[in-house]
Amino acid sequence: MCGIVGYIGSNRAYDILIQGLKRLEYRGYDSAGVALVDCDGKLKIHKSQGKVSNLESIASGANVEGHLGIAHTRWATHGEPNDINAHPHMSQSGMIALVHNGTIENYAVLKKVLMEHGYEFKSETDTEVLVQLIEYIKLTSSCTLLEAVREALLQVDGAYAIAVVEQNEPDTLIVARKSSPLVIGVGEDETFIASDATPIVGYTDQVIYLKDNEIGVIRRGEPVQVLSLFNNEPSTINIQKLKLSLAQLEKGGYDTFMLKEIFEQPSTLRDCLRGRIVDNCRRVTLSGVDLNQERFKSAERITLVACGTSWHAALIGKRLIQDFCKMPVEVEYASEFRYGNPVLNEKDIVISISQSGETADTLAAIELAKAKGAFVYGICNVVGASIPRTTDSGTYIHVGPEIGVASTKAFTGQVTVLTLLALSVGQLRGAIDDATLHEVLAALDKIPETIEEALKVDPEVKKLSRIFSYAHNFLYLGRGYNYPTALEGALKLKEISYIHAEGYPAAEMKHGPIALIDHDMPSVIIAPSDSLYDKIISNVQQVKSRGGAVVAIVSKGNKAMNDIADFCIEIPEVPECLTPLVASIPLQLLAYYIAVNKGKDVDQPRNLAKSVTVE
């Protein structure tokens, strides 16, 4: 959530900043703003509640010339969404401007001290406290902007990625990070900064990923400097080649990014699987496992930590690891794990799962697990993100940038990697027989083509969605591997259509939720032809006997369900452990088309952020 963009160079900064903000809209936000040092050397701020287009309207007609600037999209934490609380925030003198992602935990104490020294505050934000503190230090210590920023950051507790400019230093841009991402793009005679790489694509492919407790000093016409916050010593600069393209950030003819990403899943899963299934579908090669075989052989327990959609993938991962590795597995919300005083030791493996690699709660869980001696394995999509850099080892899902806030291709990518991981470790530990391994790997190797087949239900689901757009509540039911799939289907509907939906294990439906069922509450029941099919038939009958409408997700060729359910959506038949990959496709489409029918913004649903970088 929240987005930062900055520019210093010879081109008009405003145009680059606005374009960057638009590329960051997928992260979720409620206000936007820009600070520019104009050609007359004056620091000007324009900001507005609402979309970036609102900001453009406000700035139209104003002097937006200049070659240095910072910009921000805010997702409210301290103070309601409004013009005053929007970033950038300016110091009391009007000479310093700052944008900030993260949370300053001791801002109230700092604010009180500053008020005692005569500082007044216009906003309710923790960010304004930081910019005022920087100015106070600069004035009282007669130091440079860099020195003031460094001293201020040594006094704050919490998480931050910041960018700072000053009217008196029109050739300098200062950035810093701690537990919140920041990337520097190095061009020819120009430099870009952003909270992720998407605003930089198309300008340069040379990037520096700032590390925790580092300060970046960007001066016009000089190489970028990176300094340690603690001792002010230069850090080693590692310039990496960016592997993103403009085509990946565009809709490619689809109406929305979400629909594009749903239909990208055959190709993204090909990328995810490429080079990982070998020896004619008889072995998995994952470098993160291959390089740490003794850790996985000797492990006594695995704990999966994640949030949101990634947590649903983790629940599927639990069953996969238990089935194929024959070892105890736990799944924890990262936010609960870190406060639950977990009992861990060097025989434990903690697997952290995050699309963005920047989820604050998951990062904190990783730090805790490492402190207790556990081996930490990361599953992530974004190359160079904080989680891959923090974990001991791991695997990228390689599904490309996911712009839609509601995760689709990242979910199937995570489940695919968890399947590969379970099979790899199961083979390593001698817990899976060769015939089972070959059967599952052969089916997994063909899963991109299977997903292509599953996507052919699109016209059918689109038509069906019109019937259910009226609903105020939905129940999603599944058993075994598809209980988490039901949770994920319900989450997708909640996220983008704002319809209340709950996922349940089908057998638990009669332990409470059955009281809610009537003709106004439809149920989506995942009923593939697996080992639990006969059990779930009775759940369908229980819903129908109480007047509830049933949409059943069934294996292709199952015509018997037509006599019971109101609507049947057929999916290709696959081994039971792979059904979540296939069953999730019609669930994604159903949520998408219901939301579209209701006129909702499916790519940027209200109150949600793509990357949750605060607790």
- HEC profile of 226-268: EEECCCCCECCCCEEECCCCHHHHCCCCCCCHHHHHHHCHHHH
Render pLDDT for 559-575 as a digit per residue (tens, 0 to 9): 888 889 999 999 999 99
**Cα first-last separation, the chain:** 11
Residue scoring higher pLDDT (542 or 127): 127
Residue scoring higher pLDDT (380 or 385): 380
Between CA 181 and CA 89 the distance in angstroms is: 20
Q: How many beta carbons lie within 10 A of that of residue 579, not counting itself?
A: 25
**Mean pLDDT, rounded, for 522-536:** 88
Instruction: Extract the tokens encoding 552.
Output: 């059943």
Backbone angles phi, psi at 443, to 5 degrees: -70, -40
Place of tokens 């002097």: 63
Instruction: Extract the tokens encoding 592.
Output: 């998408």
Range with the poorest average pLDDT among 443-452, 507-516, 545-554 = 507-516
* CB-based contacts of 82-86 (< 8 A; 24+ apart in sequence): 82/31, 82/49, 83/31, 83/47, 83/48, 83/49, 84/122, 84/123, 84/124, 85/31, 85/123, 85/124, 85/125, 86/31, 86/32, 86/33, 86/47, 86/48, 86/49
User: What pLDDT does residue 414 have?
Assistant: 98
pLDDT at 16 over 60: yes
Q: Is 102 left (phi over 0), alpha (psi -120 to 50) or beta?
A: left
CB contact at 8 A, 540 and 550: yes
- DSSP annotation of 599 reads T
**Mean pLDDT, rounded, for 410-434:** 97
Strand partners, 125: none
Between CA 193 and CA 491 the distance in angstroms is: 33
Question: Where in the sequence numbering do the catalytic residues fall?
Answer: 2, 610
User: What pLDDT does residue 147 have?
Assistant: 97
Between CA 297 and CA 600 the distance in angstroms is: 49
Strand order in the sheet with 375-380: 329-333, 301-306, 348-354, 375-380, 393-396
CB contact at 8 A, 70 and 165: yes
pLDDT at 12 over 70: yes
How far, CA to CA in Å, does 105 sit from each of 78, 96, 530, 604, 613? Answer: 11, 22, 50, 28, 14
Nearest CA-CA partner of 444 in 187, 272, 569: 272
pLDDT at 383 over 90: no
Render pLDDT for 198-234 as a digit per residue (tens, 0 to 9): 899 889 999 999 999 999 999 999 999 999 999 999 9
Residue scoring higher pLDDT (596 or 40): 596
CB contact at 8 A, 180 and 357: no
Q: With the C-alpha atoms ordered 412, 414, 420, 422, is the resulting torsion angle positive or negative?
A: negative
Residue scoring higher pLDDT (353 or 560): 353
Determine the longest span between alpha carbons in the chain, in angstroms: 82
User: What pLDDT does residue 136 have?
Assistant: 97
* pLDDT, mean over the chain: 92
Instruction: Extract the tokens encoding 450.
Output: 């299977």
Which pTM does this prediction carry? 0.77
Q: How many beta carbons lie within 10 A of that of residue 301, not counting itself?
A: 16
Render pLDDT for 442-488 as a digit per residue (tens, 0 to 9): 999 999 999 999 999 999 999 999 999 989 999 999 999 999 999 99
pLDDT at 615 over 60: no
pLDDT at 613 over 60: no
User: What pLDDT does residue 587 have?
Assistant: 98
Render pLDDT for 362-377 as a digit per residue (tens, 0 to 9): 989 999 999 999 999 9
pLDDT band at 506 (very low <50, low <70, confident <90, very high): confident
Nearest CA-CA partner of 5 in 146, 132, 162, 150: 162
User: What pLDDT does residue 1 have?
Assistant: 61
Between CA 152 and CA 69 the distance in angstroms is: 21
CB contact at 8 A, 528 and 579: yes
Render pLDDT for 46-87 as a digit per residue (tens, 0 to 9): 999 999 999 999 999 888 999 999 999 998 777 888 999 999
Nearest CA-CA partner of 603 in 261, 214, 152: 261
From the number of C-beta atoms within 10 Å of its C-beta (0-12, 13-18, 19+), residue 511 rates as exposed
User: What pLDDT does residue 248 have?
Assistant: 67
User: What pLDDT does residue 609 have?
Assistant: 59
Render pLDDT for 108-128 as a digit per residue (tens, 0 to 9): 999 999 999 999 999 999 999
Instruction: Extract the tokens encoding 214.
Output: 């580092």
Render pLDDT for 171-207 as a digit per residue (tens, 0 to 9): 999 999 998 889 999 999 999 999 888 899 889 999 9
- DSSP annotation of 82 reads S
Between CA 175 and CA 211 the distance in angstroms is: 11
How would you label 123-136 residue by residue, b for 16+ Cβ within 10 Å and e otherwise?
A: bebbbbbbbbbbbb
pLDDT band at 542 (very low <50, low <70, confident <90, very high): confident
User: What pLDDT does residue 338 have?
Assistant: 82
How far, CA to CA in Å, does 343 sit from each of 139, 317, 340, 346, 361? Answer: 49, 21, 9, 11, 18
User: What pLDDT does residue 441 have?
Assistant: 98
